[in-house]
Amino acid sequence: MEIMIIKLAISSLMGMIIGLERELKHKPAGVKTTIVVCIISCMLTTVSIESASVYAQKGLHVMDPMRLAAQIVSGVGFLGAGVILIRKNETITGITTAAMMWGSAGLGITVGAGFFKEAIIGLLFILVSVEFIPFLIKVLGPSALQEKEIKLRLVVKAESDMTELLKNIKAKKVSIRNVKVKDLESGNHHLSLKINVDEKRYTTDVYYDIREIEDIISVEIEST
């Protein structure tokens, strides 16, 4: 019983750390979710292992001690799918959170099986991989990793030269990734753009720079 309590305590602590990291980033699954996943994964793993031992001692059919734990991995996959969202701008979010929940279950299974050191090392690797490595890649990697995507929806005068307009937009230190043009009933044009700018640049600054360009009637901007 004492070792069971120790396992559950360690699992709850690890689940709390994983959940806290998600909550600090305002993600859908937080402390409560990851703690429950980690604790129950630990408990089911322990029960699975102990049950196999008890039934073997009674001379009954010997079951696989990790059979129940194996089902946790696939079961948590369905729970993780619930935090993956597709926003109106077709951006997919929540994949990292789903992976963290799956990782929380993995930590619970590892603790439940009695591999405490391995669980602690795994937790450290997860935190380093999620927090430190992406930052390091951004600093040392190509400049494209230091950019953010912005969506622009412009209403342009009918007589404007669209090619020159795009050149003027590029001159504002903007990388254009996608262009969509639509004619309006008024004779003007609706121009939808996906652009990349330096991630440190304020979205409002981009708005003011684009608004200054001649022949642009209105600007709608959205930072993804």
* Inter-residue contact 110 to 118 (CB < 8 Å): yes
CA 203 to chain centroid, in Å, comes to 22
Give the residue carrying structure tokens 């022949």. 215
Distance (Å, whole) CA 220 – CA 192: 9
For 83, the enclosing helix (H) or strand (E) is none
- Per-residue pLDDT band for 190 (boundaries 50, 70, 90) equals very high
- For the stretch 9-35, pLDDT in tens is 888 888 888 888 888 777 767 788 888
Integer angstrom CA distances of residue 123 from 15, 94, 120, 127, 139? 10, 20, 5, 6, 24
Confidence (pLDDT) at 86? 61
Residue ranges of alpha helices (H) inside 25-82 are 31-57, 67-81
Residue 181 — φ and ψ, nearest 5°?
-115, 135
What pLDDT does 91 receive?
A: 63
Looking only at the bridges linking them, the beta strands covering 147-156 and 189-198 are: antiparallel
Tokens matching residue 62 = 């010997």
pTM over 0.85? The answer is no
**3-class secondary structure, 214:** coil
How far is residue 142 from each of residues 137, 138, 147, 162, 195, measured CA to CA in Å?
A: 8, 7, 10, 30, 17
204: confidence class by pLDDT, cuts 50, 70, 90 = very high
Task: Please give the backbone phi and psi of residue 89, each rounded to the nearest 5 degrees, phi first.
Answer: -85, 15
Which of these, 106, 49, 51, 98, lies nearest to 73 by C-alpha position? 106
For residue range 86-145, list pLDDT tens digits in order: 665 556 677 777 888 888 888 888 888 888 888 898 888 888 888 887 777 777 766 666
